Structure 1
C-alpha cells in the first residue's frame, strides 16, 4: 500500500522505499515494477538513445524490451541480478539508491555491476515517473555481445 495522506497526496518514506527495493536481493523486481508508471522517463547515462552502448531515454516497455530483456536473457536462469543495497535515501519524493548487482552469465563469467538510481515519485499517483540510472553500460554491452541466446 502506498503512503497517501488524507488529501490523497503521496509522501515517500524510507520504510516504503525499502519495501520496494529490499526484494531486489532475491532478484524480485515485482514490488518496484508495480509502482513504475508505464510512461516513465527512464534515462540511462545519456539523453541520446544508442542501443549499441545501452544508453538513452526509455519508457517502461522499451526499457524492458531493449535494455533489461537482452541482459537478463544472457544470465543464468534468465533472472535479473541479485542486488545488495549500499545506499538508500529519500529526499522529498525522490529516492536515491546505490546498489551492487551480481549474477552469473550463461558463458560462465560473473556479472558484477554497480548501479546508481534516482527515482522521482509523482505526488498525485505515487508512481515513479522519472528514473536516472547510472551503471557500467560497457559491461552490459559486453554481456549481450559475448553470450548467445
Structure 2
C-alpha cells in the first residue's frame, strides 16, 4: 500500500532515495578496470594447505599469476567481463543496465608457514575455481630426543 503525501507517492520516493543511497555506497565497485578480491576458502587437507578462489570467466593461462616469495602466497590477475568486451560484429558495446559481475584486476595474499618453497606449490583450475595446493605445509618436524649428559660436580 502506497501513502500519498502532498501529491507524491511516499513509497516510490522512499524507494528511489534508498536506491540512490545503495548505489552511492557501492559506487566504483565491480566496474571495468576496478580492483576486486575474489572469494577464497583456505582448507587443511592432511599436511597440505589448500587455497580455493572463485574465478569464473578468467583465462588462467594468460591472466593469472601464482607466486611464492618471502613466506607469502600471492595470487593475482585480471578478468574481463562480457559487458567490458564489445562483440566483434557489433559497432557499439552493449550498455550494461545492471552490473554485478566483477571485472578488472585482483590480488590475494596469504601468509605461509616457515620453510615453504615454491617447489611445494601446484595449481589447478576447474569449472571456475582455482585451487592452489601447498604440499606438506603443515607437516610438523619430527621431534628429536636429545641426550642429557650428567656431569659429576667432582670432575
User: With structure 2 as the length reference, what TM-score do the two structures score?
Assistant: 0.29
The higher radius of gyration belongs to 2
Question: Normalized per residue, which structure has more helix?
Answer: 1
User: With structure 1 as the length reference, what TM-score do the two structures score?
Assistant: 0.29
